[in-house]
Structure 1
Amino acid sequence: MKKISIPLFIALLLAIAVSDVLAVTASEYAVVINLSGRQRMLTQKMSKEMLLIANKIDVEGNRANLKKTAKLFDTTLTGLRDGNAEMGLPATEGRVILKQLDKVRKLWDEFQSVVSEVVQGGSVDIAKVAQLNLPLLKNMNTAVRLYEKEAKKVTGKSAGVVINLAGKQRMLTQKMSKEMSLVALNHSTDDNKSNLRSTASLFDRTLKGLLDGDGDLELPGTKDKAIRSQLTIVADLWKEFKPLVERAAGIDTKGISKDDLLQMSKLNLPLLKEMNKAVKMYEQLEQ
């Protein structure tokens, strides 16, 4: 058996110590999965805000919101890659995830130019919003799944799956709102009606799974009284929002009434806000 020299032994000890310091904890992974998951929602929220402007719904308010949403997306994307102590984000070190984040950055640069035009008072390019938002969403979702798998491998815990899918619900509230806005603008109407039906169905199923479990979605359900109470608040808001979606997505529906569009613009944010509270509660279970 070869003897290890003292300098080499010290170097090995230092390497172990450094790796322990750099190791991401379960609580940090919970934050990473939450905030990377929130990025998916922000892609759809920006799209919704631009399309509400195109629909002439609270133009100045949505322009101001769009500016804030874009800034948050950009700050979080940089934080995920390089770390952000204020947000509780450690720097990403895995090469596969870094490559994926770089792909997201490239797509974001393209989408951001469309956003900036609207923020600065320009008109909304509806076709570009519709074309560019989904690749950005899908690639951000890929990054979330990579974080989730890494977290499970490193920590041995599967809480990332629940945080991921609970977080995905936030995105679905905004995706439905975006799709309703596109239907109202008569943009690829049949496709967006079909997408809207699928998005609403997934939101409904996932909400039930978060409460009572869904094996296919890998959701165990929850007995936590506080979380169940919060999810019930979400369910009550969903009961208000769902009829708007069903009317907009109806196969025989001819357009969307201005009243329904206004109602959607008012109700989607409380639904998002209360779903976000539930995600934070799941995240705090890992603290």
Structure 2
Amino acid sequence: MLPSHRNAKAHRSVKAILGRISLFANLAAGHMDDLAAASRSASFERNEAIYRAGDSVDEMYFLLSGQVKLALSSSQGQEKVINVVEPGLSFGEAELFGGRRCLTNAVAIMPSQVLCIAGDDIRRIMATDPQLALRAIKLLAQRQLELENELAARYFRTGSQRLLDYFVKLAGPTRDTAGETPVTLRTTKLLLASRFDMKPETLSRALRDLTEAGLIVADGNQVRLMNAPIAHYLAHEDPARGSTLATEPFQRRATQTTRRAGAPLYDMHNRDKGARSFCDEINRAGRQRMLSQRMVKSWLMLEHRVLPRPARQVLKQSIDLFDRQLAQLEDSASSAQSHAARAELAELWRPYKTLLTAEPTRKSAHALYGMSEEVLHAAHRLTLSFERADGTRKGKLINLAGRQRMLSQRMAKFFLFQHSGIQASRCRKELRDASEEFSAALVKLASATRDKPDIAAELEGVAEHWDSLRSVIATRDESNFATSARKVFTASENLLQRMDTAVELYARLPG
């Protein structure tokens, strides 16, 4: 603790710092004096730990200067950065009030000064001041919502979108709507990649996408935000922006937005003017295949009451996207074959949607099993009709890669149906067949684009996530279904996100 004979000036300085912490703002003067006396200042060198996973925390921390990372680490030495704490922010509240040993490591990224406030004194004051207790509850609830929003963003937004969100947040609320706003990245790209659960090369590609779209200019650790194109892009996003699935390729959407704003950009989808390309339609119809499986997967999670909030979000977003794409495909179905396939899909979609939006029941689960297969086959026939109309190698690759998206969700679907006891033996066979098809197609896709380093790098990431999904399915714990289901749901979403990025890379190949 700080010496009790601290001079009045130092005591006032600590009280001023405490007053900047939202938890203690406007606290009674006597309580503030007690907290100031119960505080100490500590210095930490680069890579020095404030606390480690497994420690018991008896203090709350406020960062005065420097930078601190909160990270999970595995026994194999892998690290996942959860948050990077900047000066003026507090941390350690959940560890202090939760009464459990730390799950994360808090480590100084650079020389840092931290104000440490004794937990016993905070609890004592909370016992006599209900307002402080309510603030603590509000603070912890806010942190929980931030984590849920981050989880939703991981499911529903591309890496480029999440990175743009981060830059906009760094710029602060005073960012202008015109001109440029500079921001400085105070962390390394390696740390930033870990923060967003990306590989460094994926982060570099996301930065390149944002640059090519005219939204940022990156130079080392300096990033200039192009305010007008960003404002235009954000204004044309889905209103549910914080939890929206990237329903169109990020690069294409950003390019269209910037072009409308007047910036001349290279069209990544420029094609031979002599022939109509159906690559966009192949991609869109192929995404309907995936959604047919993803929706029932999410519905089954709701039926089992596992991860209900993310599952409900995924289900709603997927239904909305299916509706929008079905309308778009009506205008694209120019041949008799594609027109008939699209009409069949629309006819099957109505009762399927009705079941998906109703309250989950056992009877509905049996009906959804068969209907999800019918809708999938109809969407597949529509995709094939566009692939035949296109007639190019590129179209075939987009279809093959797009089918991988569907398989990532199909395997999770059969895993959940199998646990429900619905067509269990058939589910095991279908799960095995889908697994074998995914592995074989991954080899074929990699072989077809060996000379494309960006696609090869993305497929390596796909292979890693595929190993994760295959592992959690194979090692399911029948005695703890909820844990297994959470792992399968998360792993299938992660695999889908990486495979969706790969599909867009195939879509950018020359025609």
| TM-score bracket for this pair, using the shorter chain length | 0.7 to 0.9
What do the CA deviations read for 1:174-213 (whole angstroms, capped 9, x no partner)? 000100111121211111011101111111111111112x
> d(CA) in 2 for partners of 1:134 and 1:162?
23
Check whether the contact 2:398–2:506 (CA below 8 A) recurs between aligned residues: yes
> d(CA) in 2 for partners of 1:69 and 1:142?
20
> d(CA) in 2 for partners of 1:25 and 1:93?
11
SS of alignment partner, residue 257 of structure 1: helix
**Partner of residue 141, structure 1:** 380
Check whether the contact 2:408–2:492 (CA below 8 A) recurs between aligned residues: yes
**Partner of residue 460, structure 2:** 232
What do the CA deviations read for 1:9-58 (whole angstroms, capped 9, x no partner)? xxxxxxxxxxxxx98633xx211111110110000000100011112111
Amino acid at match of 1:239: D
**Partner of residue 171, structure 1:** 406
What TM-score results when the alignment is normalised by the length of structure 2? Answer: 0.45
**Partner of residue 314, structure 2:** 65
Kindly indicate whether structure 1 or structure 2 has the higher relative contact order, using CA contacts under 8 Å at least 6 residues apart.
1
Check whether the contact 2:306–2:482 (CA below 8 A) recurs between aligned residues: no
What do the CA deviations read for 1:242-266 (whole angstroms, capped 9, x no partner)? 1222345xxxx96873322221111
What TM-score results when the alignment is normalised by the length of structure 1? Answer: 0.78
| Alignment size in residue pairs | 238
SS of alignment partner, residue 222 of structure 1: coil
Structure 2 CA distance for partners of 1:59 and 1:23, relative to 1, 3 Å = farther
Matches within 5 A, 1:172-191: 172-191=407-426
Identity between Structure 1 and Structure 2 (%): 23
Structure 2 CA distance for partners of 1:116 and 1:24, relative to 1, 3 Å = farther
| Larger strand percent | 2
Amino acid at match of 1:142: R
Check whether the contact 2:417–2:424 (CA below 8 A) recurs between aligned residues: yes
CA shift for structure 1 position 224: 0.4
1:49 corresponds, among 284, 291, 298, to 298
| Larger helix percent | 1
> d(CA) in 2 for partners of 1:191 and 1:264?
19
For structure 1, the residue ranges without an aligned partner over 5 or more in a row are 1-21, 83-90, 213-219
CA shift for structure 1 position 113: 0.9
> d(CA) in 2 for partners of 1:149 and 1:238?
29
CA shift for structure 1 position 221: 4.4
Structure of larger gyration radius: 2
Give yes or no for the alignment of 1:262 onto 2:486. Answer: yes
2:469 corresponds, among 218, 241, 246, to 241
CA shift for structure 1 position 236: 0.9
2:498 corresponds, among 264, 274, 285, to 274
**Partner of residue 88, structure 1:** none
Give yes or no for the alignment of 1:102 onto 2:343. Answer: yes
**Partner of residue 441, structure 2:** 206
Structure 2 CA distance for partners of 1:44 and 1:255, relative to 1, 3 Å = farther
SS of alignment partner, residue 358 of structure 2: helix
